[in-house]
Amino acid sequence: IYEPGAQAGATHNVGSAAVGGFAGYNFQSGKIVYGVEGELGYRFKKNTFDDIPGPGVLDASTGLFGSVKGRVGMDIGAYMPFVTAGVTAAKLKT
């Protein structure tokens, strides 16, 4: 990751594999479509930052993460404009 103003040679190692699942359900009343969806996953690798102020290196891992969203849209034939809102949470360890 490039960070303007970071020290020369600073590294941010943030690549990782993750596994998770996603599920959702839509239902319709007239032309209005309602939906809800959720996601739950786990990220395996920790992040390493060596350009933090002071001596040392910061290691952080995300681990478990998830989200829940609601959706409301309008059926207008081949298109369905919609709005969505929700929350996301993650467990961060440093």
Domain ranges, ordered by start, for the chain? 12-90
pLDDT mean over 41-50? 76
pLDDT mean over 40-66? 75
Distance CA 24, CA 37 (A): 4
pTM of the model: 0.62
**pLDDT the model gives residue 22:** 95
**pLDDT the model gives residue 4:** 57
% helix, strand, coil for the chain, step of 5: 0, 65, 35
Confidence of residue 1 (pLDDT cuts 50, 70, 90): very low
Say if residues 58 and 46 touch (Cβ distance below 8 Å).
Answer: no
pLDDT mean over 20-37? 96
74: tokens are: 């309008």
